[in-house]
Structure 1
Amino acid sequence: MNWFVKLFTEPSVAQAVIVYSLVIASGIALGKIKILGISFGITWVLFIGLICSYAGISIPKEMEHFVKEFGLILFVYAIGLQVGPGFFSSLKKSALGNNALAASVVVLGVLITIIFFYTTGNHMAIMAGVMSGAVTNTPGLAAAQSAVKDLQVQGVDNSTITLAYAVAYPFAVMGIIFSLILLKKILRVNIEDEQELHRKLNFIQSNRPLSIHIKLENKQLIGQSVRKIFKMVNEPVIISRMFHNGTTITPTPDTVLSDGDVMQFVATKRIMEKVKLLVGTESDMNLRTEPSSNLISRAIVVTRKEITHKRLGDIPEIQHEVLTLTRIKRSGIEMVAHGNIFLQLGDTVTVVGTEESVKAFAEVVGNSLKRLEAPDLGPIFMGIVLGVILGSIPFYIPSIPVPVKIGMAGGPLIIALFLSRFGNHLYLNNYTTNSANLIVRELGIALFLASVGLSSGHNLAAAFTDGSGYRWIVMGITITMMPLLIMGIIASKFFRKTYFEICGLLAGACTDPPALAYAIKTAGNDIPSATYATVYPLIMILRILAAQLLILFFT
C-alpha cells in the first residue's frame, strides 16, 4: 500500500492530476447544493482548493502556475467566442444606454474601492481582490494577480489577493440578489403588472419578423413588377409566396403584379405597417395551406464554411426563381434574410420553394449537423496564440516606469471577440456548438479556480486571526450593493427602464449568473437575459481592465 500513499502525497504528474480531479469533482458536486435557494455553483471548486491547501496538500508550483494560466485562457477565449457577435451588436445606438448604466456600476465600484484604499490602509492589490470578489468576477482576480506579477509589486503576494477575493465572494452572491429584492421594494414593483407591461411593449417594439398575407389593392401597382414594392418600401422585406393568376408561386423581383394578387410578406412589425399602406389590407387566404401550391418550407442549417465569406445576394448558387429565403435565426434571434447579410456557421435559414430547389439549397449551405459537432481546432488554437501575443505586448504610459500588459485574461478575450465576429472574413472558422463552448469554458474556469485555491489556502487562518477577513467582508458587501442600488434607482427614474430590464442589467454589470437565474425566475420570461447579454461583453472587459488599472496607478 506504500505506493498508493505516495501516489497522493509525493509531487508528481499523477499526484497533480489526482488532486486537481478530486478538488474539481468535489467542488462541482457541492455547487449543486442550494442554501436559501442560492447556489455558489463552480465557485465551490475554489473553496475546496483553499481547504485542501490549508490542510497541507500541495502540487509543484510550476505545474500549478501553468494549469492556472492555461485554464484562464480557455475560459476567457470561450467567453469571447460566445458573446462576440452580441458584443458588437451591443455597441449600436439602441444599446448604448444599457452599456452606459452598466459601466457606471463598474465606475462606482472602482471609486468606492479607492475610498477604502485611502481610509483603511489596505494594499491596492488586496483591494482589487476584494473588488473582484465583490462583483463575482474571476477574470478580474486573474488580471489583478497578473498585474502584480508583471509590475513586480512589493509588499503583497497573489495568495493574499486570492484570499481577499474568496472571502468577499460568497457574500457578494447573496448581496447581488438581495439588492434586486431591495430594489423591488424601493421601486414598489408589482410583478404581475410588470409582466403585463412587457407583453404590451413586446407587441409594440418587437423586431422579430412577422408573416402576413396582404391582398393587392393599390391599383397603381397593377402592371408593375414586384421590384417596385421593394423600392417603395426601401427596407428589408421578403415576399415568400404569392397567389398569382390562380397559382401559388415564389415571386422574383421581375414578376408582374396583377389585380387580385395575394402576397405573403415577411418583415418586422414596423415595416409591415408601411407595406400595408403601400399594398393593401390583410387577406384571409393562407398560402401555406393553399391546395394549388407545390411549395414547401424548410429550416436549413448552414454548415459549409465556404458559403460564409460572401453577401447573401452575391451567392449565385442560391438564386432560384422557385426559391425564397425568408428568415435567418442566429443565436436565438430571428431576422429578415435580405441580400446584405453574411451567413455564419450554425445559422438556421428558413426557405420556401419547390422540393427540388430546397434540396439544392440544402446542398449548397451544407445542412449537415455532424460537421458542426466536430469543431475546427486549428483556428481556435491559432486565435489563442494571437491572444497570448496581444496580452504580452508591453504598453508604455507616460509617468509609469513599468510597461503595462493586458495579460492572459485580456488578450485572448479581445482576440476571441474579434474572431467570433470577423473570423469568417479571414477564413478562420472559430465556430463551436453551445455544448462544446460550454465544456471548454467550464473546464477552463474549474482548472483556474482549483489552482488559485491550492496555492492560497495556507494563509486562510491568518486572514481572520488579525481581523482582515472581517474587514474584507464589510468592504466587499459595500462595493457589491451600493453601486447596484444607486444605478438601479437611476435606471428606473431617469432612463425609464423596467424592473426586469434593470435586473438583467445589474446581473450583467456583476457578470453574475446566479443573479441572472434569480431574475429570470422572478420575471417568468427572458427579458432579463436580453439586457444581461447586451452589457456582459463590455463589462467583462471593463472588470478586467479596472483591476489592472487600480494596481497600476495606486501601487
Structure 2
Amino acid sequence: MSAVSFAILAIAAVAVAGLMFGGIKVRGVSLGTAGVLLAGLIAGDLIGRAGGSVDSDMLSFAKEFGLLLFVFTTGIELGPGILRLLARRGASLNLMATGIVVLGLGSAMLAAWLLGLTPPAAAGLFCGATTNTPALAAAEQALSWRRSSESRENGVTGDAPAPTNDLRGGDSQDAAAVPSESHDRITDLTATYAVTYPGGVAGIILAMLLLRRLFRIDVATEARLLREQEAAEHEALERRCLLIDNRHLNGLPFGRLAGVEETGIRISRILRSDSNDVVAANDRTVLHPGDVIQVVGTRESLDRIEPSIGPKSDIDLTQRTGNVRVSRVFVTRSEILNRSLAELALDQLFGTTVTRIERAGIEMPARGATQLHFGDVVHVVGDPAAVEQTAALLGNSARSLQQTPFVPMFIGITAGILLGTIGIPVPGLATPVRFGLAGGPLLAGIAFGLVGSIGRLVWYIPSSANHALRQLGMILFLAAAGLGAGRTFLALAFSLEGAGWIVAGLLTTLLPLLIVGIVARVWAGQNYCILCGAMAGSMTDPPALSFAQSLTESESCSKAYAAVYPLTMLLRIVAAQLLVLLG
C-alpha cells in the first residue's frame, strides 16, 4: 500500500473510531468530535510500536487544510452578526480573555520555576497548554533572533561545537556553545509543546464540564435564556392600525411624512373612508382624513409617529377583505445585491412595499437606505400580480439558497491564507506578529461574510453545507494531530519528566479558565453558552469551539469565540516571545 493510501486509511479509521467513541454519553455528556483526538493518539502509538509510520506531509496537509476549512466556514457564518455582538459584549468578553491569557502566562512561569525548565521549554509549555501554534512559531523566531544576538555579543560565528543541553536550566556554557545550545533550545521548545498540546485541548473541554457541574447548569435552559435576552435587546417589529385625523395630512404621500425614513416605519395597507375593501399601500400612497392605515415598525417608532397621524383604530386591516397579498421573498439575484430599497424603487415599479427584512435570524426595519444581501428574507406587500413581479426581480430561488458558490469560497480562502502571512510589527519585539492559518482565514471569513457580495461574487454557504464542512474540517484536524503526536505523547506521558510537563500544562490550561469562568459566572452573571465560546476563543482553540457548539447547540459560542480571537491571538504571540526573550 502506498504512503498516501495508508495515510488516508489511517485518518478514516481514526475518524470512525473517534466519532463512535465520542458519541458515547456518560451522564448526558459526550466528547463529540473531540473523541477523534484520543483515537488518533492511540492509533499513532500503535502504528509506531508496530514499526510503521504515517506520512508526515500527508498529516500536515490534512491537519492544516482541516483547520482552514473549520475556521473559514465559521467566519462566513459569523460575519453578518459579528458587529452587533462586539457592540454589545465586546469589551466584557475581551476583558475575560485578557485575564485568561495573563493568568496562563503566570501559571507557565510558575511551572517553569518549579520544574527548573529553560525559558524556551517554558514557552513551549505555554504554547502547548494554550493550544496556540502561531505562538509557537513566534517563539521559535524569537529564539532564533536571541541566538543571533548572543552570537554577535560573544563574537561567535556559529561553527564551533558545543555540548548538548537538556530541558532544565543548567550550568552556564561558554561562548562557543551558543549555536549548539540554541539547537537544544529549539528541541526544548517543540518537545514541551508536543507533550502539553493534547492536554491543552482536553483541559479546555474539562474546564467547560467542571463549570457546568459546579454551577449545576442546565444547558438547554441557558440557551433559551440567551435567546430571550437577545430578543429583548433587539426590539421586535409590530403592526398597528391608525385612523388619520390630522387634516394637515390631506393629499400628502405617506413617504413624505416627517420621521418615516429615520424610524424605518412602513405602510402596508389602507382602508379608504369611502370604501369597504382594503388595498395595498406604499410610500407613494396619498393620505386623507378618515382613512385607516396599517403601519409596521418598532413599538418606540410607532409611538413616536402616532400623534402626528391619529389614534389607534379598532379595525384590523389584516382581517378585512381586499386584494392584498403578503409574501416572504428570498433575495437571491446577484444583480440587486448591495442595492438599497430606495434604489430599487419597488413602489414605483410595481406598487409594492417591503415592510421588514430578516437577516441572520434578526428581523429589522426596511429603511430606504437598507441594502439587500444574499439570503435576506423580505416581507413584500402588494396586490398578487405585483408581489409576483417583485419576487421575480429579487430572485426568490430556493435552489440558489441550497447551492454553495465555490469560486468566491476559494477566493476567500486564498485571501485568508495571505492575510495570515502578513506580519504586524509590535514595538519591542524582534519579529512581527502573524495570525497564521488559524487566524487569517477566520478573519477573512468574517470580513467576506459581513460584506456578503462583491459584484457577482457571493459569499454564502447554506447552513447544512456550512455545518458539514466545519465538522469535516475539525475531524481531519483532530485525526491528523492525534496520529502525528501519538507516539511521542504516550512515550513521554509514562516517563516521570514527561508526566511532570503534562500535569504542569494541564494546570496552566485549567486554572486560568476556572478562575475567570467562576468570576464571570458569579459576579457578572455571564451566560454559559457565551462563556464557553469566550473560553475557547481565549485559547484560540477550534476543537474546543467545536465541542462547545455540540454541548450548547448555540451559535452564540461561535460569536463569542470570534469576538475575542484577534486580541487573544496577539496577546498569546507576544507572551510566548516574552518568555523566550526575557528568560
Residue in 2 that maps onto 1:476: 509
| Pair 1:84-2:79 in alignment | yes
Q: Deviations over 1:217-249 (max 9, x none)?
A: 444434433234353683111111111241322
Alpha-carbon offset, residue 491 of structure 1? 1.9
Match for residue 269 of structure 1? 299
Correspondence list, 1:74-223, <5 A? 74-92=69-87, 95=88, 98-121=89-112, 123-132=122-131, 141-147=132-138, 154-156=186-188, 158=190, 160-180=192-212, 182-183=214-215, 206-223=234-251
Are 1:489 and 2:522 matched, yes or no?
A: yes
- 2 CA distance for matches of 1:264 and 1:317? 19
Structure-2 change in CA distance of 1:464 and 1:218 (3 Å) = farther
* Alpha-carbon distance, 1:173 to partner: 2.2
Distance 1:534 1:213, change over 3 A: farther
Equivalent residue in structure 2 for 1:429, among 446, 458, 467: 458
Q: Which residue of 378, 385, 393 corresponds with 1:364?
A: 393
Q: What residue number does 2:404 align with?
A: 375
- Secondary structure of the residue that 1:249 maps to in structure 2? strand
Q: Which amino acid aligns with 1:504?
A: C
2:539 alignment counterpart: none
| Greater displacement, 542-551 / 365-374 | 542-551
* Aligned 8 A contact 1:392 1:407 in 2: yes
Q: Judge which range, 218-227 or 381-390, deviates more.
A: 218-227
For the structure 1 residues 69 and 307, does the alpha-carbon distance in structure 2 shift closer, same or farther, using more than 3 Å as the test? same
- Structure 1 equivalent of residue 259 of structure 2: 231
Within the alignment, does 1:545 sit opposite 2:570 as a pair? Answer: yes
Q: Tell me the amino acid that sits aligned with residue 313 of structure 2.
A: S
Q: 2:18 aligns with which of 19, 27, 39?
A: 27
What is the alpha-carbon distance in structure 1 between the residues aligned to residue 257 and residue 411 of structure 2?
A: 47
Query: For residues 193 and 539 of structure 1, what CA distance do their matches in structure 2 show?
Result: 21
Shift of 1:195: 8.5
Structure 1 residues 284 and 365: CA distance shift in structure 2, 3 A: same
TM-score (norm 2): 0.80
Identity %: 27
Equivalent-residue separation in structure 2 for 1:515 and 1:542 (angstroms): 20
In 2 relative to 1, CA 490–99 (structure 1 residues): closer, same or farther, beyond 3 Å?
A: farther
- Contact 1:159–1:456 (8 Å) recurs in 2: no
Instruction: After superposition, give the CA deviation of every residue in 1:409-433 in whole Å (9 maximum; x if it has no partner).
Output: 1221222211111252454311111
TM-score (norm 1): 0.84
Q: Is the counterpart of residue 536 in structure 1 residue 561 in structure 2?
A: yes
Runs (5+) with no aligned partner, structure 2: 145-184, 537-544
SS in 2 for 1:264: strand
Q: 1:454 to 1:545 in 2, by over 3 A?
A: farther
Is residue 40 from structure 1 mapped to residue 11 from structure 2 by the alignment? no
**Matched residue pairs, number?**
512
Paired amino acid for 1:551? A
Using the alignment, how far apart are the partners of 1:197 and 1:416 within structure 2?
Answer: 25
**What is the rounded CA distance, in whole Å, between the counterparts of 1:285 and 1:166 in structure 2?**
66
| 2-structure distance, mates of 1:223, 1:515 | 58
2:353 partner SS: strand
Q: What is the alpha-carbon root mean square deviation over aligned residues?
A: 3.0
The answer to whether residue 319 in structure 2 is matched with residue 289 in structure 1 is yes
Corresponding residue of 1:249: 279
Which residues in structure 2 correspond to 1:61-80 (within 5 Å)? 61-80=56-75
Greater shift, 475-484 or 271-280, is seen at: 271-280
Q: Say if 2:452 and 2:458, in contact at 8 Å, map to a contact too.
A: yes
Q: Does 1:335 align with 2:364?
A: yes
The 1-side partners of 2:450 and 2:291 are apart by 41
Structure 1 residues 213 and 206: CA distance shift in structure 2, 3 A: farther
Matches within 5 A, 1:372-451: 372-425=401-454, 427-451=456-480
Of 225-234 and 470-479, deviating more is 225-234
Q: Aligned partners of 1:319, 1:12: CA distance in 2, in Å?
A: 66
Q: Which has the larger radius of gyration?
A: 2
